[in-house]
């Protein structure tokens, strides 16, 4: 079996992004449109000043990538990061969706400070903690968030995950949005971890797909990585995958690969989906960087994989491209171990994203502080 040292053979893993250092804050920042109506109605607590734009100074992780490595001690999904410039507009939109014209309960909390904690109500893998501080700081820039568990870390029922302290109106306003995101992402990470555990010791990695919720792709794929999986393509511009329809409409595997190679930047990878042994052989001979072997049985792959490796060695000896990445799809979870013994490199599945249940989390408030 060929085991690749690159954690993502298709180069689609997330990397930290960010923006330049922000200028000093203006004396009286305008309230952003997403929350402006609520402020004008007087139902946000005094001093409840939302951030006005992505260029405003925000203490903590919003000044760069939302890095997991800065989380609590213990096992972490080290090295994973979410680009703040991409995530902040999403957080703003999701807060605006829930707040509408403003939280009608806010007048009851004017001038009050609050403290609370998140608790896991079921066993699983936590994910989404990196979003909590930037989300609540859009509502209260002075909020304090202390993460007790890192994204990617296993949790047990009853375990405290993080603590928050800030304006009570802000904690209440952001509670549902923050929990919804974390429960969704934790469910994906938990489901991914269960499948990855089935492949332990095989050298085969579990990859996701582009079957993601519109608007949530970067976060759902982040959750897969927190669960121990690897990302396949984040989008159509990450690598060229020639599927059944491409091959039918382009004149076949050879012409399709040639057309893509002629137009794409030279580092771009070309992946071919094969449904038969003949298609898999043709893809390797035509120079595909990877072959997705769709709905082959474990028995068929045991025989086919060595032949494809030999074809790749022959093309390299003849001056062609090097080793080929072999990926299986259409795999049922109960067959993961069998497929892991076939010599393939990857198993791709949408199951952790499309079939996972949310991990139940709750926010427990402590008495209001004086």
- Is 211 annotated as catalytic? yes
Catalytic annotation, pick one of 273, 279, 289, 345: 273
Catalytic annotation, pick one of 101, 176, 332, 355: 176
Catalytic annotation, pick one of 88, 294, 327, 345: 294
DSSP string of 144-199? EEEESS-TT-EE-TT-EEEEEEEEHHHHHHHHHHHHHHHHHHHHHHHHHHHHHHHT
- Is 243 annotated as catalytic? yes
- Identify any residues that bridge with 149 across adjacent strands, giving them in sequence order: none
Q: Which of 45, 75, 149, 41 is nearest to 368 (CA)?
A: 45
Q: Which of 25, 26, 96, 93 is nearest to 59 (CA)?
A: 25
CA R_g for the chain: 24
- Is 273 annotated as catalytic? yes
CA-to-CA separations, 87 to 2, 14, 105, in angstroms, rounded? 36, 12, 27
Q: What are phi and psi of 335, to 5 degrees?
A: -105, 5
Quote the CA–CA distance of 260 and 201 in Å, as a whole number: 36
Quote the CA–CA distance of 318 and 10 in Å, as a whole number: 24
Are 44 and 35 spatial neighbours (Cβ–Cβ below 8 Å)?
A: yes
Both tokens assigned to 38? 């609520």
CA-to-CA separations, 265 to 7, 268, 324, in angstroms, rounded? 22, 6, 19
Catalytic annotation, pick one of 115, 217, 243, 261: 243
Cα four-point dihedral sign 340, 342, 344, 347: negative
Quote the CA–CA distance of 290 and 273 in Å, as a whole number: 9
Quote the CA–CA distance of 230 and 225 in Å, as a whole number: 5
Crossing angle for the helix pair 129-137 and 168-198, to the nearest 10 degrees:
160
Q: Which residues of 106-126 are buried (b: 16+ CB within 10 A; e: fewer)?
A: beebbeebbbbbbbbebebbb
Helix (H) or strand (E) holding 56: none
Catalytic annotation, pick one of 211, 307, 332, 355: 211
CA-to-CA separations, 238 to 108, 169, 210, 225, 270, in angstroms, rounded? 50, 42, 11, 17, 10
- Is 294 annotated as catalytic? yes
Residues serving a catalytic function are 176, 211, 243, 273, 294
């Amino acid at each position: 079996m060929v085991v690749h040292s690159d954690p993502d053979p298709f180069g689609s893993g997330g990397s930290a992004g960010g923006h330049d250092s922000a200028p000093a804050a203006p004396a009286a920042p305008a309230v952003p449109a997403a929350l402006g109506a609520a402020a004008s109605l007087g139902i946000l607590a005094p001093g409840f000043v939302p951030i006005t734009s992505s260029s405003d100074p925000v203490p903590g992780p919003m000044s760069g990538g939302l890095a997991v490595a800065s989380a609590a001690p213990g096992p972490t999904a080290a090295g994973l990061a979410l680009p703040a410039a991409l995530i902040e507009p999403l957080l703003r939109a999701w807060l605006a969706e829930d707040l509408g014209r403003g939280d009608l309960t806010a007048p009851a909390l004017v001038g009050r400070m609050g403290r609370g904690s998140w608790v896991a109500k079921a066993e699983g893998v936590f994910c989404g903690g990196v979003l909590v501080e930037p989300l609540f700081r859009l509502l209260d820039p002075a909020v304090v968030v202390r993460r007790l568990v890192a994204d990617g870390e296993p949790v047990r029922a009853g375990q405290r995950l993080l603590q928050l302290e800030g304006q009570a109106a802000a904690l209440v306003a952001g509670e549902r949005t923050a929990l919804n995101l974390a429960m969704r992402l934790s469910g994906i990470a938990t489901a991914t971890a269960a499948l990855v555990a089935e492949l332990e010791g095989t050298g085969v990695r579990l990859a996701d797909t582009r079957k993601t919720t519109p608007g949530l792709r970067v976060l759902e794929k982040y959750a897969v990585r927190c669960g121990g999986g690897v990302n396949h393509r984040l989008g159509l511009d990450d690598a060229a995958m020639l599927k059944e329809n491409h091959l039918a409409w382009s004149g076949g595997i050879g012409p399709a690969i040639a057309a893509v190679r002629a137009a794409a930047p030279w580092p771009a990878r070309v992946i071919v989906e094969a449904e038969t042994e003949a298609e898999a052989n043709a893809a390797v001979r035509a120079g595909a960087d990877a072959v997705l072997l769709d709905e082959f049985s474990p028995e068929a792959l045991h025989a086919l994989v060595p032949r494809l490796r030999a074809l790749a060695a022959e093309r390299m000896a003849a001056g062609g491209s090097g080793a080929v990445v072999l990926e299986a799809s259409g795999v049922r979870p109960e067959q993961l171990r069998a497929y892991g013994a076939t010599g393939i490199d990857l198993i791709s599945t949408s199951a952790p994203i499309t079939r996972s249940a949310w991990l139940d989390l709750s926010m427990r408030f402590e008495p209001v502080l004086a």
